[in-house]
Amino acid sequence: MRDYFSDLNERLTAIAGPDNPLLLECLAFAEGRLLSIHPFTDFNGRATRLFLAELLRRLDLPSVELAPVEVSKRAEYLKAIRAADKVDWKPLIELWRERLENG
């Protein structure tokens, strides 16, 4: 966890504002890496969503839906998370792009 937050802090330092192209990658990393670490016995998804909501607030970004309810959206989300487990951030980056565009 210490390494995760150290890496995340470096990434956050590198982004200066909401128009920075690294913002989406940073958000994808924040979500995907924390979920892959799986730090708790239970409630990892809830803890991650709470953390992401706070991160969005601190970055002055809009609140977005972090846990899709629709079956097709949920399948797309799980596929992106599985890709992030393999350090492929592209699907999760695209999800973050959609989240922020559709706010």
Cβ(34)–Cβ(94) under 8 Å?
A: no
Per residue in 48-83, pLDDT (tens digit) is: 999 999 999 999 999 999 999 899 999 999 999 999
- What is the structure's pLDDT at 39? 85
- What is the structure's pLDDT at 34? 96
The range of the structural domain enclosing residue 13 comes to 2-102
Total domain count, the chain: 1
- What is the structure's pLDDT at 40? 86
Which pair of structure tokens corresponds to residue 64? 């977005």
Closest CA to 49 of 77, 70, 82, 21: 77
Per residue in 4-33, pLDDT (tens digit) is: 999 999 999 998 776 788 999 999 999 999
Q: What is the CATH number of the domain that holds 84?
A: 1.10.3290.10
